[in-house]
């Protein structure tokens, strides 16, 4: 439960931290997403017996701060390659994880799985591609997968 609280709160901090870097259309989309993430964070905190909104306002977090928080939970596993982005989307086919599991965008330590081998809904990229994408897509960037 503590990990869920940290993940949801980190999502809010990531969006708030990148607000100044977004274009107006992207900022509008991010504002809608961060309001949902804020509700998720409050709900999960309440379930964990923590105050749902311990501060009057959330501050932003830098990409480096977000990465450190996620690494403290063990994210950075080589299974997902050098970089893994979480999204607010849930997998409809992954039924053994809470809420169907988060859809991520990540690298892999098994490049033979690319392209098209079974996935739980994540977007799996070659490691050099996810590293290049991480330079172009700071944490908190709205993503549309079609």
Whether this model's pTM surpasses 0.95? no
Separation of alpha carbons 13 and 95, rounded Å: 28
Task: Given CATH 1.20.120.1760, say whether it is the number of domain 76-146.
Answer: no
Map tokens 């053994």 to a residue.
Answer: 96
pLDDT tens by residue, 2-48? 777 777 788 788 877 877 777 777 777 777 777 888 888 888 888 88
73 contacts: CB under 8 Å, gap ≥ 6:
3, 6, 7
pLDDT at 98 over 60: no
Which alpha helices (DSSP H) does 19-126 contain, by range?
24-47, 63-72
Q: Where are the domains of the chain?
A: 1-66, 76-146
């Amino acid at each position: 439960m503590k990990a869920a609280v940290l993940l949801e709160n980190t999502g809010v901090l990531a969006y708030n931290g990148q607000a100044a870097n977004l274009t107006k259309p992207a900022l509008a989309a991010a504002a809608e997403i961060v309001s949902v993430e804020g509700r998720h964070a409050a709900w999960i905190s309440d379930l964990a017996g923590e105050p749902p909104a311990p501060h009057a306002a959330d501050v932003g977090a830098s990409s480096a701060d977000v990465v450190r928080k996620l690494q403290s939970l063990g994210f950075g596993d080589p299974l997902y390659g050098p970089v893994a982005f979480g999204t607010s989307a849930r997998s409809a086919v992954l039924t053994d994880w809470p809420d169907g599991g988060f859809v991520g965008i990540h690298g892999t330590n098994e490049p033979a799985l690319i392209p098209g081998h079974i996935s739980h809904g994540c977007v799996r990229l070659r490691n050099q591609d996810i590293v290049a994408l991480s330079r172009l897509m700071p944490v908190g960037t709205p993503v549309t997968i079609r």
